[in-house]
Amino acid sequence: MKIYLSEHIAQSARERLEEKFEIVDNFEHPEELDGIIVRRVRVTRDIIERAGKLKVICMHGVGLDTIDVEAAREHGIPVTRVPGGSIESVAELAVTFMLALGRKLKYIDQGMRQGKFDHFGMAEMVGNEVCGKKVGLVGCGHIGLRVGEIMRNAFSAEIYCYDPMKTVEECRDIGCQKVDTIKELFQIVDYASISIPLLESTRNIINAETFEEANPDLILVNTSRGGIVDEDALYHALLEGKIKGAASDVFAKEPPEKDSPLLHLQNFIATLHVGGSTEEALERVGNCTVDNLLRELDNYQVARE
């Protein structure tokens, strides 16, 4: 059997694959593939329709926005994912962003490299503690809740949330105060973390209107998906002081162009979709992905017998 795999996966997971399958790193002959494992590569309708032997598509992660799930369903091909494998890693990155922006680490680090400062104690280096602040969650899934848990337990933060799928009582049960709109959330909190999937209903859900009446001291972090935040609107909000700072691990185009105006702002931190890129998370997710592949191939074989 041939399995498509072109992206980095934990060595232990790769070795398990190599014991049983021939690994292919391109889509030149999709008709020969029995299984597909992807992290970021797109699996289009064209690839699915050409892959006549395909038995399973496995997402190395949780988001399915790079896979044409509808086309797979039409052709009877199961699509698997690994929810929960990178919760801790992504949540830790979100909290790291909050701390780094609150203490102006990018500004101070770059200023020192450029010889901008000749003494310490300058007013522009003064940051903020996160202790006791108000933290907003855009989405109360596993990652959002873990961010809230860390901020509440470690920093005594008050947790607010926007999640249309949860009632006031459900939010209270998980230690959050429910807010009806993102716009209202951004007016209340000092820090906000985005943890929702990219759907047509969430595309550019955070936009110029959202920032218009935001708390000017708001720090916004996005570790979910590019396309949820309107990047042009975010740039102007940061430039014009409508919010204090922002960080994003994800972009509409990854990587963003090097001349993207966001990348040149002192109050913006960028990373390249590394939320789940820790050794621990990759071990969990990689091996769960292989488990999913083996299970679906076994199911296929049993169905034929």
Please give the pLDDT value at position 62.
84
Spatial contact of 98 and 193, defined as CB atoms under 8 Å apart: yes
Cis peptide leading into residue 255 (ω within 30°) = yes
For the cut 80, the answer to whether the pLDDT of residue 101 exceeds it is: yes
Q: 140: which 2 tokens?
A: 């109360």
User: How does pLDDT run across 219-267, given as a tens digit for each residue?
Assistant: 999 999 999 999 999 999 999 999 999 999 999 999 999 999 999 999 9
Closest CA to 93 of 219, 283, 274: 274
Choose, from 225, 231, 284, 296, the residue flagged as catalytic. 225
Two tokens, residue 258: 């090097």
Burial bucket for residue 201 (CB in 10 Å: 0-12, 13-18, 19+): exposed
Residue 225 falls in the annotated catalytic set = yes
Region 65-82: what's the mean pLDDT?
95
Show the domains of the chain with their CATH numbers. Answer: 2-82+279-304 (3.40.50.720), 87-270 (3.40.50.720)
Instruction: Note the residue count of the chain.
Output: 305
pLDDT digits (tens, 9 = 90+) for 182-208: 999 999 999 999 999 888 999 999 999
Tokens 């979100």: give the residue. Answer: 94
- Out of 213, 254, 257, 280, the active site residue is 254
Task: Tell me whether residue 273 is one of the annotated catalytic residues.
Answer: yes
The CA distances from residue 84 to 61, 62, 87, 276, 282, in Å, are 9, 8, 5, 10, 12
**Is 254 among the residues known to form the active site?**
yes
pLDDT tens-digit profile of 135-164?
999 999 999 999 999 999 999 999 999 999
